[in-house]
Amino acid sequence: MSAADHIVLLRHGHSEWNLSDRFTGWTDIPLTGVGLAEAAAAGRRLAQAGYDFDEVHGSVLQRTRQTADALLAAMGTPAVPLFTDWRLNERHYGALQGLNKREIFSTWGEAAARRWWRGYTEPPPPLDWDDPRHPRFDSLYANLVPAELPASESLRDCQQRMMPYWKAVLVPRIEAGRRILVISHGNTLRGLVMHLDGLSAEAMEQVEIPSGVPLVYRFGPDLSVQGHVWLDSPDATPTPAA
């Protein structure tokens, strides 16, 4: 398998708040035993398909680090370096963070809530500046300018925050021949898939990123997308993108 002609994307495994159907966003929630098993299974699938990595990139949230550790251990390559950056964080859900769908529907109504979490342009209500859930109070972001931290994000906001990392960090590494695994979050990866596949905002609303299933994108010499495949079985092989 040649280097620099592909990248592998992975959504982290099942987390604790998935159990109670809560919107997690930037809340630093750990994986469940199910999530750790999903990560290990993804590592075994990647190894069986012949993939190796020079480096892993993930968010600063522990659920991506736990996914990386379990996946690399299952591959037998625990020493592969992990680089973390807040720009690969999940979309910030603002005032919805920590609430479940029933609580959100009763406060804001189902129609508005569904626009916020499935739409592309409309963010949820933001956190107040003094809300203890605001990321300016989190030590993970102590080195960032508080005014630059989001209090809420639409999918477009999340994508615009993530794309400079893709262009300035990941693309040069792929061009240099580095074999890259990106472990991130559902909405962050949706934004990247939207860019790679050239999808409209309307088409993007229908895209789901399952947890723990590797998504492989293959590139031509000019980094144009040649195809993608979900490695949801040991014998899956890349096929042209639809």
Q: Which residues are catalytic?
A: 12, 90
CA dist., res. 45 & res. 48, Å (int): 5
Sign of CA dihedral 115, 100, 41, 7: positive
**HSE-CB of 184 using CA atoms within 13 angstroms:** 30
Q: Is the dihedral of CA 115, 121, 122, 124 positive or negative?
A: positive
User: What amino acid occupies position 29?
Assistant: I
Residue type, 23: F
> How many other C-beta atoms can be found within 10 angstroms of the C-beta atom of residue 233?
11
